[in-house]
Amino acid sequence: MTDNTAPDPREAHPGTEAQDAETIAHPGLTGDMPSEPDHGEESYVGHGKLDGRKALITGADSGIGRAVAIAFAREGADVAISYLPEEEEDAKVTASWVEKAGRKAVLLPGDIRDESFCTQLVESAASGLGGLDVLVNNAAYQMAQPAGLEDITTEQLDRVFKTNLYAMFWITRAALAHLGAGSTIVNTSSVQAFQPSPPLLDYATTKAGILNFTKGLAETLAEKGIRVNAVCPGPIWTPLIPATMPEEKVDEFGGDTPLGRAGQPAEMAPAYVYLASPDSSYVTGDRIVATGGKIV
């Protein structure tokens, strides 16, 4: 007799005890983390939901981006991986998982704070993949400042806004030349869009902006048959956390959720698959919130 009992969500992944209070250098490599995240390498099973699709994913070297790349590949999509040059090591690991799934991986290093690179990124992705019909705007920058606004410099503000907002505008605008009816755009917002944390005020502001961008663009592109949606993760264990937060926050990260732990990138990937696939054909201008029980 088969046991179909679902795992207890509180214990499906390690809790805060696995998160040593240890910071790592930004931008943070997966191998430098005190405990490596689960990206679905051994667990995600595809069902052909994205057969033949061609996807560009920003920030796909690690964290949520890597989990989405692995899931997309196992669902049948070829994947272009956008990442910072200093994240080459992680990007190659992501590419290897895409290729193990029998799909094409295109590595595209560069800094999306540069408008000309964003335009070239899209063209290189479309050329390398032979087209483009899924765009995932996932890359983001944050740097916690315990005193909040007083410690957020203009230099940091500029980096956060250019990485999280400007790049999304530039990349999406360039992608429209390649996207047709049936194409999808999925943007990564955050629980911070609803519950802004003072040390992440600049980051939280951009994540709220991403939601408005998603809603407005969805209405604009509906007449072309292009859907636009967002995923709003809660606290997810990625290199961004120990690379941008103080040790005491790393140690307790995710412990304040009703489920009592941080989420894993692998737990976010199915939401992106759903929004990119025909399963969500009547969903646009909407969001999926996955916060471990935090009410927004």
Instruction: Show Cβ contacts of residue 58 under 8 Å, excluding neighbours closer than 6 positions.
Output: 65, 82, 83, 112, 121, 136, 137, 138, 139, 167, 171
Cis peptide before 242 (omega within 30 of 0): no
DSSP assignment string, 8-59: PTTTSS--GGG--S----TT--GGGSSSPPP-STTT----STTTT-EEEEET
- For domain 50-288, which architecture applies? 3-Layer(aba) Sandwich (3.40)
- pTM for the whole thing? 0.94
Residue 228 has pLDDT above 80, yes or no: yes
pLDDT band at residue 257 using 50, 70 and 90 as cut-offs: very high
| pLDDT in the model for residue 1 | 43
Residue 218 has pLDDT above 80, yes or no: yes
Residue 52 has pLDDT above 50, yes or no: yes
- Could you list the active site residues? 203
Sorted by where each begins, the domain ranges of the chain are 50-288
d(CA 170, CA 174): 6
Phi, psi for residue 290 in degrees, rounded to 5? -130, 95
| pLDDT in the model for residue 239 | 85
Mean pLDDT value of segment 150-171: 97
How many CA atoms are closer than 13 Å to the CA of 27, on its beta-carbon side?
Answer: 19
Look at 90-99, 180-189, 239-248, 253-262 and tell me which has the smallest mean pLDDT. 239-248
| pLDDT in the model for residue 23 | 77
| pLDDT in the model for residue 295 | 86
CA-based nearest residue to 168, from 219, 206, 120: 206
Residue 251 has pLDDT above 80, yes or no: no
Quote the percentage of the chain above a pLDDT of 90.
Answer: 80
| pLDDT in the model for residue 6 | 86
Residues 69, 98 contacting (CB under 8 angstroms): yes
Q: What is the pLDDT of residues 86-142, one digit of tens each?
A: 999 999 999 999 999 999 999 999 999 999 999 999 999 999 999 999 999 999 999
Residue 143 has pLDDT above 90, yes or no: yes
d(CA 239, CA 252): 15
pLDDT band at residue 3 using 50, 70 and 90 as cut-offs: low
Mean pLDDT, the chain, whole residue set: 94
92 dihedral zone (left: phi>0; alpha: psi -120 to 50; beta): alpha
* Coil, strand or helix at 167: helix
| pLDDT in the model for residue 25 | 82
| pLDDT in the model for residue 240 | 80
CA-based nearest residue to 87, from 32, 39, 35, 18: 32
Six token digits for residue 221? 């592109």
pLDDT band at residue 2 using 50, 70 and 90 as cut-offs: low
Mean pLDDT value of segment 3-22: 76
Quote the percentage of the chain above a pLDDT of 70.
Answer: 97
Q: What is the pLDDT of residues 61-99, one digit of tens each?
A: 999 999 999 999 999 999 999 999 999 999 999 999 999
